[in-house]
Structures are given as C-alpha cells and as structure tokens.
Homo-oligomer: A and B are copies of this chain.
Amino acid sequence: MENIRTDLAIEAHEMCSKKKAEETEVGGVLVTEDKRDGVFVTVIDIKSIEGEKELGKPMGKYITIEAPDIKFSDDALENTAKIIAEQIREICHVTESTKTLVVGLGNDMITPDALGPKVVSQLMVTNHIKTYMSELLDESYSSVCAIVPGVLGTTGIETTDIIKGVADKIKPEIVICVDALATRSVNRISTTVQISDTGISPGSGVENKREEISEKSIGAKVISIGVPTVVDAATIASDSIDAVIESSEELKVLCKENERRNIIKKALLGSEKNMMVTPKDIDLVIRRAAKVVADGINLALHNSVSF
C-alpha cells in the first residue's frame, strides 16, 4: 500500500479489505453504510491503535459522502449540502454563541488545489457583524470567521503556525479545515466529500517538525472536510498494471505480489513524479464541489432554527 497515495479513509479501508479477502472486518474498525436519495454515506470509525496502523489514518470518525450527481444536478447539490450540514452537526453542537474558524487550505494559484480558498470565498462570514452590528443578525446565525493561510512554499511559514496564531487571538470553539485531497479513483474527483473529526496535518513540510491541527494542540474541536480533486499519476500507472495482470491467469501466476511492486518501481522510474491526473473540465467541476461544501458549512453554522 506504500507508494499508493490516498487521502480517503474509505479507499484505505477498501485496500486493506481486499488484501484480507477472507475476513469481513479490519480489526478495530467499524463501518456503517447508508443510502438516501442517491447519496451514499459511509462512516468508518477507527477505534483502536490496531485500526490506525492498518488503515494508516489516525483514530477517529471518517464520514464519506458519495454523490455522483452533484456534477450535473442542482437538486443533488442542494440535497448533498444538507447531508454535509447534518454530519457536521453530529460531530459538534452549534448554538448562536458558537464561534467557528473556517480554514481554506491549499494554493489558490493551482486549480485543483484551490478548493479550500474557493469554499472560503462563498461562506457567510458573520463574526465582525455579530461583534460590531449585532442587531443586523438574529439568533439563527452563529459567529463565523474564515482565513486562507496559503501554503508553505509561498508564505515561508508552517501553515499550522498561521492557524494557531490566529486561533490564539480569536479563540474559536470549532475549527473547520477544508482541503483538496488525492484519491485512487478518477470517478471520485469532485463527487465525494470526506468529513472527519480527527486533526489534520496540512501541507508537505519536513515531517518531524510538523505539528498537527487537533483538539489537543489548539483547544478547539477540529473538523476536516476534504474533496478529492486529483489522482497521482503513479496511481494510474499502478492501477493499469494491476488491471492487466488481473486480466490473465497466467500473468497472475507470473507476477507474485512482492515481485509486482518491484517491477512497477523499476518500470516507472519516477517519471510520473509530481504529475497529477485531473479531469479536462477540472476548472468547472471544482467550482461545483466548492459550492456544495460552502453551502453545507453555511447550513450547519447558520439558520439553526429552520434546519
């Protein structure tokens, strides 16, 4: 599973399950599934260190919302936004006096990495109005702030430091981090939303210096919302090879698992490094993905009564 990058718990779980086909369950991981109005909701609850190690993701709840129709249908988009709002509210309690900081992670100069900044630009930000002109908003609005911290390569600052610095000043009860993710499957691009209650380690800095954004480190409930927008080119390469090998019994015998990885490594020679795979209409689909997440957050944090 090393070499293959996915940010989605549901895919990490699928890969694990496949490897141990005989078992129905990965140890310490609880999975529940639901389907409503064409939208699949899968909750993966990693409950133990064992599960953490198996899936390569920190303990916690990962809610995957799969809504292929949001690409085309405005009704599906609205419907999915409502489900996102419900799931956020299951993780944290929002009242009129709650203060939330939404963080739009990613580089807004790179189209498939700009999901976070695009979501932030569509939020109903209310903190300054509630502070200075509170008479303009009734009790159905909570207090929302939002920042776009940029990325290490353009700020020179660990993104975690920026978020913590701002959180220290404004003391939010909830921090929602929105980010673009990598997936194994082109079909998930801009149609799947992952919500989790675990912390997040933004960006690609030097690992041992990296500090997490988490309830422990920041003193606020942390929710991560991500949408896959790219597939690593290496994933496409690896999947293609697997598909070929699987298609022939002879090849399957010839290429045993371990060996297979070696062959692939040699074959790829790193030439796909730093390459990403996106749909040709990524500029369009990312706009719809940003809208569904922004609408979901707006619904979760405001209009408490009507929802």
Contact = CB atoms under 8 A, between A and B. Distances in A.
A279 interface: yes
A24 interface: no
A304 interface: no
Q: Which of A164, A169, A274, A279 has the most CB of B within 10 A?
A: A169
Interface stretch (A44-52, A218-226, A244-252, A289-297): A244-252
13 contacts: A125-B154, A128-B153, A144-B156, A147-B150, A147-B157, A164-B165, A165-B167, A236-B272, A237-B237, A240-B268, A247-B266, A248-B263, A274-B281
Category for how many chain A residues contact B:
35 or more
B283 A109 contact: yes
A264 B239 CA distance: 11
B277 A263 contact: no
Interface string A194-238: 000000000001100100000000000000000000010100111
Nearest to A260: B244
Contacts of A152: 128
A150 B153 contact: no
Contact of A148 (B127, B148, B187): B148
A14 interface: no
A243 interface: yes
Given A143-B156, A162-B166, A248-B254, 17 more contacts: A113-B280, A128-B152, A145-B156, A145-B157, A146-B154, A146-B155, A157-B166, A161-B166, A162-B169, A165-B168, A186-B275, A240-B241, A240-B268, A241-B241, A248-B263, A250-B254, A278-B278
Contacts of A187: 271
A234 to B, nearest CB: 9
A239 B237 CA distance: 8
A149 interface: yes
Interface in A256-274: 263-264, 266-269, 271-272, 274
A148 B150 contact: yes
A26 interface: no
Contact of A156 (B121, B126, B148, B153): B126
